[in-house]
Structure 1
């Protein structure tokens, strides 16, 4: 827990003007769980907590010293930003000087240049994430009038126009009015320093178009996108500082912990895998072609995108005993506009690993047999992939989602179909990881097999492990008996 200074600095008595406060408490520098900027400084102004992170302890202590000196001078601090009045005034003067020196870029033009500069170095999913986050902010960065297009069209127009390949092209007819509004009625980037405008920006990060809260992961992803863009705006002198650094991090939902209700038991898992084979007509093999696909999620803990990219050369399937799947590639679904190839599936290395690394996953005999049967009946798809559609192409996410939804109706009682139980194909991976943890497999080994860090496994699945408290109690009780500490 952070601690304050033992002695409060001396300040002259008086009243601060509205929006400012002389009630300032400064905490000591602490280290937080971040790789890039692990040193955090926190302080309170008028009851509102502000914070900043730094790459080194020396930088954090230097900033702490600056704030402490301002407190000793008796300066009031701005409550919204947490900055001393002299710094706020200097920032405003710098912004005014910059505005007089040259016109500020407008938001849409800034985003076009920013995305174009990052496009070649970014994966398709990253590109799509940038477009989504910046499009959400764009809804706050336009002036509104009587004829303002609906937000859904403004958002779609922004996502279309932000793709570098679309620069200079005519927008689709249904997006033309929204596109013209975006390019004519967008605000200057410097308007982000306006408190009212930035409050609307924060709202757009946190909520969907229909006014319902966005998922926790969506909010965090959008905030990361905006933060990186604002850091760039500061670097190119479009903003005097990053207004997001001192902004309150609103907590909107959380997808950090796996919901136990989605987990299937062994009987339910087998029933679902069997039900898949009944989906679709027998001659087209729609469900039977994907039965082994779901099995690798359930028995090996693969992500769907990893299963899509699995090749025969990655599989060791002996006649007896355990086999191995050596994962080298993932095929995440994005969209044709986000990939370099023009295909819906990007081609990437494994998640959270270097591009040229692989991940061997031991698989039990039951999965070996399922894969052998699948390959014997259907062979391989194009490029030697284990799974393919009827034409040998990449299995689309819409395909394995539709098959899964139909299989649930076959396998589950009517009253459970509408429940969260195995609601997504990805939930089979959750069931696999939980089964391994409950079997006593060490967290580090589970993390290695599924391609996560031990910290992520512990955080996301700690509520899904059965019997560990009782087992721990038994071990402690046995230790007490051996030491003679019994009643």
Structure 2
């Protein structure tokens, strides 16, 4: 923060004669503290001293911390949006997951394209967007390939974005926020995408405040609302038990190695990343001859698909903690007899990867088998393709074109909805699903069937009891 003062005294220029050359030092005093700056030529020293004298003549305050006139301090502190965005990426990179890094880069790319000072000489927009996303806002790639800084898109972006100080203008900030509401194809962006990108923008500006480039976060002064985002699950995506079993049967017929994968989502409400992380040692299954017995799954983490450019390892996937949980957090989920049977079939027919992972890649391009040992987790493309085939095989034409179980993740929604509708207390469901109770009820409010009729019956019973009590009182008074 600037501490302005007018207690300033300028001294003369002092030459410093050395063995090879002479330098020149300008000395001045601000608030009783001596300052100095040394220059290689007398002309440069004179110019700097003249700027200090001009500031005094114009009645300009000096910054007591830096010793410079406020205008000069502001000039030296000038930083472009592009430079700050790169610095923000570098600050966040070591502590962010691969998916979060991608999210930051995506948001900063959208914002940077909206915060340019001109479109003159702008490279092809698609090429510029690619350079920003894959190089400028990816610390690992930017460090490994510094020569790309001389490419035309990188040079243009570095030279043609606004200064951070310009973000004090509400019009500029609003322009950036409005850019978050459309996609690269100029279509309306989803509310969740807008909210996510706005959060990145807000944090980037807060970092500018922390570094002293801005006096406050300008977003706080703007009346701009993020479009409402409904967190509620669309009940149209939720399958009933009969439909779920038909879908799992279709998977078993065409891709039996993934039947248990989808069964974990439907019977235990696991997220896909949690299923990919599952290992045999995490499965506490009853004895093979114990029919209709329940087991347990101990969840210890998730396996995220992030792409080779965004993770810290060499692969496209990385193991992380459970969602919104500490690194060593675990979660226990019951395994119903149906899930136990599916897991037993999987272990008997396909085994595990070298590290005990249950669901690993077993085929390569064009479905060709891969020679073991299998170690890489199943890819998103693979299980998504298998799920699309299962929907076509198990659902009617009308159901297949509807939102019903369109994504594998919808099996998790079906599981949580089933638990709630079966009367399992919300705190227990929240614990199994890895939610807070508030998020659980807010997300699945429209998927809880039968509760309305129960509530009406209880209200009617309450009203009936109250009415009966009043009649008895009236009779007593008449008597």
Residue 135 of structure 1 corresponds to 109
Report the 3-state secondary structure (helix = DSSP H, G, I; strand = E; otherwise coil) of the residue aligned with 2:162: coil
Change (3 A) 1:386 1:172: farther
Report the 3-state secondary structure (helix = DSSP H, G, I; strand = E; otherwise coil) of the residue aligned with 1:469: helix
Report the 3-state secondary structure (helix = DSSP H, G, I; strand = E; otherwise coil) of the residue aligned with 1:197: helix
Residue 224 of structure 1 corresponds to 199
Q: Is the 8 A contact 2:280 2:357 kept in 1?
A: yes
Distance, in Å, in 2 between the alignment partners of 1:158 and 1:237 is: 25
Report the 3-state secondary structure (helix = DSSP H, G, I; strand = E; otherwise coil) of the residue aligned with 1:347: strand
* TM-score normalised according to structure 1 size: 0.75
**1:40-94 per-position Cα deviation (integer Å, ceiling 9, x unaligned):** xxxxxxxxxxxxxxxxxxxxxxxxxxxxxxxxxxxxxxxxxxxxxxxxxxxxxx9
| Residue 408 in structure 1 maps to residue 383 in structure 2 | no
Unmatched tracts of structure 2, length 5 or more = 1-67, 363-369, 472-479
| Residue 447 in structure 1 maps to residue 447 in structure 2 | no
Q: Is the 8 A contact 1:206 1:213 kept in 2?
A: yes
Q: Is the 8 A contact 2:295 2:336 kept in 1?
A: yes
Distance, in Å, in 2 between the alignment partners of 1:268 and 1:239 is: 56
Q: Is the 8 A contact 1:272 1:411 kept in 2?
A: yes
Residue 262 of structure 2 corresponds to 294
**Mean Cα displacement is larger for which, 352-361 or 474-483?**
474-483
| Residue 184 in structure 1 maps to residue 125 in structure 2 | no
Residue 327 of structure 1 corresponds to 299
Unmatched tracts of structure 1, length 5 or more = 1-93, 280-286
Residue 82 of structure 1 corresponds to none
Q: Map of 1:2-401 to 2, 5 A cutoff?
A: 97=71, 100-160=74-134, 161-167=136-142, 170=145, 176-252=151-227, 254-279=229-254, 287-319=255-287, 320=290, 321-390=293-362, 391=370, 392=374, 393-401=376-384
Residue 414 of structure 2 corresponds to 431
Q: CA deviation at 1:309?
A: 0.3
Q: CA deviation at 1:178?
A: 2.7
Distance, in Å, in 2 between the alignment partners of 1:446 and 1:150 is: 51
Q: CA deviation at 1:402?
A: 1.1
Change (3 A) 1:159 1:485: farther
Q: CA deviation at 1:420?
A: 0.8
Q: Is the 8 A contact 1:214 1:252 kept in 2?
A: no
Aligned length: 386
Change (3 A) 1:105 1:346: same
Distance, in Å, in 2 between the alignment partners of 1:153 and 1:485 is: 77
**1:149-196 per-position Cα deviation (integer Å, ceiling 9, x unaligned):** 3443333211222222223555899x9443332122222222222333
Residue 465 of structure 1 corresponds to 448
* TM-score normalised according to structure 2 size: 0.76
Residue 75 of structure 1 corresponds to none
Distance, in Å, in 2 between the alignment partners of 1:274 and 1:187 is: 57
Distance, in Å, in 1 between the alignment partners of 2:463 and 2:74 is: 76
**1:392-432 per-position Cα deviation (integer Å, ceiling 9, x unaligned):** 22111111111111111111112222211111000000000
Q: CA deviation at 1:274?
A: 1.0
Q: CA deviation at 1:103?
A: 4.7
Q: Is the 8 A contact 1:327 1:360 kept in 2?
A: yes
Distance, in Å, in 2 between the alignment partners of 1:440 and 1:383 is: 38
Change (3 A) 1:148 1:99: farther
Which has the larger Rg?
2
